Amino acid sequence: MTDKLWYEKINEEDAYIRKTLQEYIDLYFFDSVEFKAVEDITLENLGDFLEVMLKHYQQYHFHLGELYDTGEIL
């Protein structure tokens, strides 16, 4: 069974993780039915989430550090 409550294990010091992921969702997934909140990211749909992120990186070349940080966060 997938731990769908992984985000509850984030301590207060790492609250930026949740904030950063939510910013990406708001920016890149604004018209998505699947991703509306951080809680919507699961192991089952992580590939879909990363695919969209990589497409945006390829198209808009946002800073590679942001992509690296996203990988670290997830």
Q: Of 30, 37, 41, whose CA–CA distance to 4 is shortest?
A: 41
Ordered by start, the domain boundaries in the chain are: 32-74
Cβ burial 31-62 (10 Å sphere, 16+ → b, else e):
eeeebeebebbeeeeeeebeebbeebeeeeeb
Report pTM: 0.63
- Each residue's pLDDT, cut to its tens digit, for the chain (74 residues) gives 455 565 666 666 677 778 888 988 998 898 999 999 988 998 899 899 988 888 877 776 666 677 677 777 76
